[in-house]
Amino acid sequence: MYLYGASGHCKVIVDIIASTPELTIKGILDDNPKFDMLFDIPVFNTKMFETFSDKQLIITVGDNRIRKKIVENSPAIYKIAVHSKAIVSNYATIGIGTVIMAGAILNPDATIGQHCIINTGALVEHDCQIDNFVHVSPNAALAGGVAVGEGTHIGIGSVVIQGIKIGKWVTIGAGAIIINNIPDYAVVVGNPGRIIKYNEEHE
């Protein structure tokens, strides 16, 4: 397979794939490569390829919006990467393009959308519904039955109590404690979480 995006986030995905012997990386693609190799993997300029439609690919860009834009413009055979040290219930569902990092836990009936990042040590409890292009940061915890809309970023170490609904393209700040539903595009910080502004898409 190929990875798209020669970033720090890419390094973590390389480590995930190294933990799963059935997967191998042929190369890393980047629009503006700053180096020829990442670890021992060659880095190629994306301009070398007319199409990715016949390639197995994972987008290794941490920014949710950029990841969505790449997917919209780059049809490919998108794959899933799950670290061998992650704990994933047999009753959880993971969408294409999603990556699950070391120490993450997905419990039964958790549903993860496409091209999501479930980062190191994150907890997604039973019956959570995570939409596409969401990033659940390291050590964030979502209690049972939480719903998270498209493109939302759940900050490092944040906690969301059971049954909460978080809208699309929301930003939850680091360490925030979410005890109320959150509308689309809100930026939320603190304990308890409070809305301090809205992302620019808010109408």
Q: What torsion do the CA atoms of 141, 116, 106, 81 make, to the nearest 10 degrees?
A: -130
Distance, in Å, from the CA atom of 172 to the CA atom of 94, rounded to the nearest integer, reads 22
Q: Does the annotation mark 83 as catalytic?
A: no
Catalytic annotation, pick one of 9, 83, 115, 126: 126
Question: Which of 201, 203, 182 is closest to 193 using CA atoms?
Answer: 182
Q: Which residue matches tokens 């020669």? A: 6
Quote the tokens at residue 140. Answer: 């964030």
157 and 174 in contact (C-beta within 8 Å)?
yes
Question: Which of 113, 20, 115 is closest to 70 using CA atoms?
Answer: 115
Residue 171: CA count within 13 A, CB half-sphere = 14
Quote the tokens at residue 162. Answer: 């059971």
Residue 121, Ramachandran bin (φ over 0: left; ψ between -120 and 50: alpha; else beta): left
CA distances (Å), origin 75, targets 4, 78, 80, 151: 12, 8, 15, 19
Catalytic residues, which ones? Answer: 126
